Structure 1
Amino acid sequence: MSDYADPATSSLRLSDAERAQAVKRLDDARLAGRLDGAEYAKRAAQARNAVVRGDLAPLFTDLPSEPSESSRHEPWKPPARNSRALGGAVGATIMALVPFVALALFFLVGWAGGWGWSWVFFLLVPIAGIIIYGPGADERGRS
């Protein structure tokens, strides 16, 4: 944001966007603790009623020219997740579904043909885990 006290531009008329930008800058100063609520309200009203750039200069004489680093608000970003699963999120989803598939096959084969060997389908869980998360998973997680 350019300086409002610049004599070369102090007589230029303000746009609505410039007024809004000035109020935003005052709000940043309030959030940083440089202005209290009453002082902010007074200055924000004056900024909204300003006609030329020079009208805004007295509002910022005791404030830093740019907002400090602590008053800048950046949106929160979740930490990056590197899936170690083969196939990334698809592989992880498949691994989450394998126990349900094994359970369904256990009951289907058990009721249809006998329970003697239907337990074998539960071996799908560790086999899928070895394939999806097995050797090389550390290298996949780093890339």
Structure 2
Amino acid sequence: MNGYANPDRPDQRLSNAEREDAVARLSDAQIEGRLTPSEYEQRAASVRSAVTRGDLAPLFADLPEVAPTVSAPPAPPAPPAPTVLSGPGTLPPPSAGPLPPAPASVRGSRALGGRIGDTIMALTPFIALGLFFWSGFNGGFVWSWLWFLLIPVVAIIIYGPGGKPDRGT
């Protein structure tokens, strides 16, 4: 429909959606100050009882023409642009999506001894658990819980006392 003031086919019947759109356009005209509340109520009642497009023409004749808005479905998001890295340690822009895994030469461990230190740290809880049960069955479980203090002690020895975050170096 081009407009309510000059309909394309004045004898064509209105749908419920077209009536609601016309009421919404009248509401916009009231908000803009083009219609008083009483005029809006009268015209909205006439729109709701209108049968054909021609019935709407006199209700919009004195209002400016507004292009109808067609709501299109949202466009799918664009695929991320391919990421081109120019060298080791070079990061793509933040909007480029998830980072590819870094090569082993770039991805270093902060652990003392590198991967061996990481392995020792991963095994420490199991060693502490084994020592807990060994000392518990051989001497009593009262003090055997102290073996679990090995976990933070080994972590401090391997990763350092500062607990500073890894800066990628």
Q: So what's the TM-score if we normalise by structure 2?
A: 0.43
The structure with the greater share of residues assigned to helix is 1
Q: Give me the TM-score of the superposition, normalised by structure 1.
A: 0.49
Please identify the structure whose Cα radius of gyration is greater: 2
